Structure 1
Amino acid sequence: MKTAFVFGLSPWKSFISSWLPHSKVFRRHKPVSWMEFHCLWVPRILISSSPEVFVWGYKHPPFVEDFCRRRKIPFIRIEDGFIRSVALGATKAPPLSLCFDSPVLYYDPSAQSQLENILQTYDFAADSALLLRARRGIERLVGTRLSKYNTSQDVKIESIYGLKDRKRILVIGQVEDDMSILKGCERRMDNNDLVRIAAQENPGAHIIYKPHPEVLYGTRAARSRPEDIKDIAQVLDQDIALADAFETIDHVYTITSLSGFEALIRGIKVTCLGMPFYAGWGLTDDRQQCPRRSAQRTVEEIFAAAYLLYPKYFDPEQKKMITFEEALELLHSMRRAAAA
């Protein structure tokens, strides 16, 4: 049996033990000091059977990673997967999917993540069954109108956008101090910068700015003022489902948001100012480059890698690992129950 040492996960993320059923799990949810780590935890790690160290994202002291690298102990980062819940992560809702990666997570292009490695090297042409699952998965994901978070109410988008009489651009806002931007974008920018770029590059177009749900609900702070760009864009002030927001849209602008990939699976053109996992494979208008990404990939292949091969899925009620398809149906039933 392996031994998992989990550092820095909030107390409410105790669910992590269920995700590691074949490991003996030790958790330290409070920040660990250099002294405590080296005096208390290092001896335990060194005498353990097949030790592995887990952290959430990049929320860890550098000395933990340094120790693992020197001792050649697996150091694994955890992050939410791409279909998560019917509530925001900040509300402490347990996730249906998680990603486990090393040395970096999928949103960090500074080195090759496991997801990038799959996309660069996997022989998709030889795996027709996987591509069939991907095509069906895309159809089902679009058909159920699900996304990563599923907090919003469905709307009639014409009542918000108005009649379409010109090119329509959707700008996807993000939490501006989120690690996916800090790691995934070489150029420092905020959401207002992104709106201004979209407006400048598309004169005369109808620019629509969709703030991130966590900013709209006040669970994460905004670093820019939407009021400052109301002269060039329509700013959405309610949490509109992405499935509705994408209707009648010709082009999406994003920094690194997963929403950009959700636009791609709907056949919408996407411009990326940063380097999200789906950029660099020949499908997006990229303003940042990653020379390692030399393969040309289809939407189905990227979906297969990101939704079928890369994450793990877990049923929080039945306490068991499940497939993507089972997770999607579970999420669909949870959303219908929440709406009812």
Structure 2
Amino acid sequence: MRFDKFGKALKDNAPSWMRRNSAIAAIYDSVFRTPKKQTRPRGQYLSLVRHAFNQYDWINEGAPLSDLFNGDLSTEIVRLSPGYIKFSLFQMQFEAARFERELVLNIGDHEVNADLLASVAFSLGISANRGSDITVVSTRPIRAQRTPFDAHASEEAWLRSLQFVAGLRSRRSTLILVGDQTCAANRNRWNSIIRNLLKVSNKFDGNVLIIENSVSNNLTNANYTEILGRTNVALLPGEIISPILSERLEKSSSAASYHTKIWTRLPTALPQMLLRDLNRKGARSFQTETEHNLDLAGEYSQAFVGGSLPGPISLAQSDASVEVINGVQRYIVNAFDARGRLDGASGLETLPSISSSSAFLQWGASESKRRKRLRRNSKNSAAPLFFVEDGFIRSVEIGLKGSPGLSFLIDDLAPYYEAREWSRIELTLASEWAISAEQRAEARASIENIRRRRISKYNHAPDYAPVWQADPRRKILLVDQRNGDQSVSSGLASASTFREMVSDATGMENSLVILKRHPDATIGNMGSYFSAGNLGPLLSHPSVTFHDDEINPYSLFDAVDEVWCVTSGMGFEALIAGKRVKVYGAPFYAGWGLTEDRLKLDWRRRTIRSLEEIFYCAYLARSVYFNERNGSKCGLDELVAQVASDRDHYLSKAHI
């Protein structure tokens, strides 16, 4: 007898008083009832109908979306497989651009998947309107001269766009497997190849993108389930209807094609993929981008910062993380003008409820089970994944005290402090991007505003002259960081780097070395790199003095001749204050000609950047600011004024 049937028999034959007791009945149900399995459609491919594109009626006349797809758009299958819709609309954009038209999606009022369609359209840069009777695809004259679908886009930019459509985190090491119509007649061979490829792909840090150019379902349950569970493997099914896409795939050095008798490209493509991972430490190089941000991920990240999101955002925190949600992340939904927040790191069975997310936000770069599930769900939802961190002007009090952040910095490629991979900020600065006169003026004005108001990341500390300022020796400020800070290892540094920095400073003749421990250590009870365990005898060196009392960083800058740091953002604040800065790690602002660098960052040294250019990319182009008083998104200067006012009020109360 099955276990659940045995439980039912026990329950049915229990005494009447026990059967009438709802609590006991619930216990029986929870223990003996077999959980209902969640349906996971196996390749329910929503493929574009070929004749609809041969005629191109939709170019000049609006066409119902349901007429262009094989499948019911109102079913749960769509919410489990939004990538299929995204891939099809992506190809329609290619075709619209070919006819010098701009794609428009008019979403019906009664569309079950209205939020999902709106989020997909927003991520692809498609204009979406609500209020139609049915969902209709149409076009209008193109407004922009250059688009991510330009035929002359670089290989790197084009690959990033394709990975973005598939929901994959951008990797330069990418293998694309393209299966043609013969896959349906050779399912066993096709699935055998995919099964072996999935095994091999566990051994490298790259992406596998499987494009099945077919209208039928050719994957086994095992392969499909494996793809669902992976963060670096994605499936784009359905007929390829865009000649531009077909041509780019044929020319791509990252693509391998499947044919009935021979798989021509895999023997050379796979080894190249294994050797071409340019993201890892020791393998960094730079190939000049002919067009800056000419890819979908870059375009969407700009829209994500500046616009209102049509759907919710998903984060790794569960609903039970009340302290975090109501504390440090209290304003994140309003700051991005999103329609709520969701638990994006839950099980696969929750995909229907989170597939309408406009984006998934990962806080931090370290690995965890919930972050891995967040990336997996982002991929399966075909929704963009962004790395989000506290902005460079965060709040008055430190985050460890639960103070909510008032600014957020996002990056679609990697956390801004990650020097082992390309971040969008770094890629922008390393590209041929040129700051406009208006952007430079805006950055210069904001820099001056911050300098004049003496605003830092945290603003709880008073402004005063330190007692050691009168010392006649040359004064060097060494900046600490919280022990284990992710930005240290991501910035190509370690605890030994801090020892080297202190050792070099104490070796300078006639110098006073001021060690400033991080606020998280002095008032947050966290670890410090400037500890006895790490520095040993250097702590008692006669030229060393500690400044552990809380003080406005600008008071320190006023009192010293130069500032040394590893990867701390305080080094960039010192640049804003006009100080000479020496850097021992690889923070986002090092290697561009503004700092003295202990590390040789060749991939950055190709381009010299000004303070205004770095400031614009970090503080203006990729940051979102929130006005706590009126509860809405605001500009940088507005936040600076708010923080300055709140700081003065906070310090006056502390003084009383």
TM-score where L is the length of structure 2: 0.47
1:255 alignment partner in structure 2: 566
1:203 alignment partner in structure 2: 509
**Counterparts in 2 of 1:134-283, with a 5 A limit?**
134-157=443-466, 159-164=467-472, 166-189=473-496, 191-200=498-507, 202-223=508-529, 224-225=531-532, 228=537, 229-231=539-541, 232-283=543-594
Cα contact 1:275–1:289 (8 A) shared by 2: no
Distance 1:253 1:17, change over 3 A: same
Instruction: Give % identity.
Output: 28
After TM superposition, give the deviation of residue 142 of structure 1 in Å.
Answer: 1.3
1:93 alignment partner in structure 2: 403
Question: For residue 235 of structure 1, what is the amino acid of its counterpart?
Answer: F
SS in 1 for 2:425: helix
Distance 1:227 1:7, change over 3 A: same
After TM superposition, give the deviation of residue 222 of structure 1 in Å.
Answer: 2.7
Cα contact 1:98–1:312 (8 A) shared by 2: yes
**Counterparts in 2 of 1:112-131, with a 5 A limit?**
112-121=422-431, 123-125=433-435, 127-131=436-440
SS in 1 for 2:625: strand
Greater displacement, 172-181 / 129-138? 129-138
**Counterparts in 2 of 1:72-111, with a 5 A limit?**
72-111=382-421
Distance 1:191 1:292, change over 3 A: closer
Distance 1:298 1:260, change over 3 A: same
User: Which whole-Å CA distance do the structure 2 matches of 1:23 and 1:291 have between them?
Assistant: 43
Distance 1:114 1:93, change over 3 A: same
What does the per-residue CA deviation read over 1:45-67, in whole Å, with 9 as the maximum and x for residues that have no partner?
A: 4xx33552212122543343245
Q: 1:19 aligns with which of 331, 335, 338?
A: 335
What does the per-residue CA deviation read over 1:92-144, in whole Å, with 9 as the maximum and x for residues that have no partner?
A: 1122211122221111112221222332336445x112211222222221111
Cα contact 1:6–1:55 (8 A) shared by 2: yes
User: Which whole-Å CA distance do the structure 2 matches of 1:51 and 1:242 have between them?
Assistant: 38
User: Which whole-Å CA distance do the structure 2 matches of 1:95 and 1:179 have between them?
Assistant: 19
User: Which whole-Å CA distance do the structure 2 matches of 1:315 and 1:3 have between them?
Assistant: 20
User: Which whole-Å CA distance do the structure 2 matches of 1:26 and 1:50 have between them?
Assistant: 8
Q: 1:7 aligns with which of 272, 291, 316?
A: 316
User: Which whole-Å CA distance do the structure 2 matches of 1:266 and 1:116 have between them?
Assistant: 22
Question: For residue 86 of structure 1, what is the amino acid of its counterpart?
Answer: V
Q: 1:37 aligns with which of 340, 343, 347?
A: 347
SS in 2 for 1:247: helix
Question: For residue 17 of structure 1, what is the amino acid of its counterpart?
Answer: V
Distance 1:129 1:38, change over 3 A: same
After TM superposition, give the deviation of residue 17 of structure 1 in Å.
Answer: 1.9
Cα contact 1:313–1:324 (8 A) shared by 2: yes
1:314 alignment partner in structure 2: 626
Task: Report the structure, 1 or 2, having the larger helix content.
Answer: 2
SS in 1 for 2:465: coil
After TM superposition, give the deviation of residue 43 of structure 1 in Å.
Answer: 4.2
The reply to whether residue 290 of structure 1 matches residue 606 of structure 2 is no
User: Which whole-Å CA distance do the structure 2 matches of 1:142 and 1:215 have between them?
Assistant: 26
User: Which whole-Å CA distance do the structure 2 matches of 1:120 and 1:4 have between them?
Assistant: 30
Greater displacement, 110-119 / 309-318? 110-119
Cα contact 1:255–1:274 (8 A) shared by 2: yes
Cα contact 1:213–1:239 (8 A) shared by 2: yes
Question: For residue 523 of structure 2, what is the amino acid of its counterpart?
Answer: Y
Distance 1:110 1:70, change over 3 A: farther
SS in 1 for 2:315: strand
- Larger relative contact order (C-alpha < 8 A, sep ≥ 6)? 1
SS in 1 for 2:558: coil
What does the per-residue CA deviation read over 1:70-95, in whole Å, with 9 as the maximum and x for residues that have no partner?
A: 76431112110011111001111122
Unaligned 5+ residue runs, structure 2? 1-309
SS in 2 for 1:281: coil
SS in 2 for 1:239: coil
User: Which whole-Å CA distance do the structure 2 matches of 1:122 and 1:318 have between them?
Assistant: 39
Cα contact 2:465–2:559 (8 A) shared by 1: no
User: Which whole-Å CA distance do the structure 1 matches of 2:498 and 2:487 have between them?
Assistant: 14
User: Which whole-Å CA distance do the structure 2 matches of 1:188 and 1:214 have between them?
Assistant: 17
What does the per-residue CA deviation read over 1:3-38, in whole Å, with 9 as the maximum and x for residues that have no partner?
A: 42211272322422212324442136xxx5xxx523
The reply to whether residue 132 of structure 1 matches residue 448 of structure 2 is no
SS in 1 for 2:449: helix
Compare CA radii of gyration and give the structure with the larger one: 2
After TM superposition, give the deviation of residue 319 of structure 1 in Å.
Answer: 1.1
Distance 1:93 1:218, change over 3 A: closer
Cα contact 1:15–1:94 (8 A) shared by 2: yes
Cα contact 2:518–2:528 (8 A) shared by 1: no
After TM superposition, give the deviation of residue 243 of structure 1 in Å.
Answer: 0.7
SS in 2 for 1:329: helix
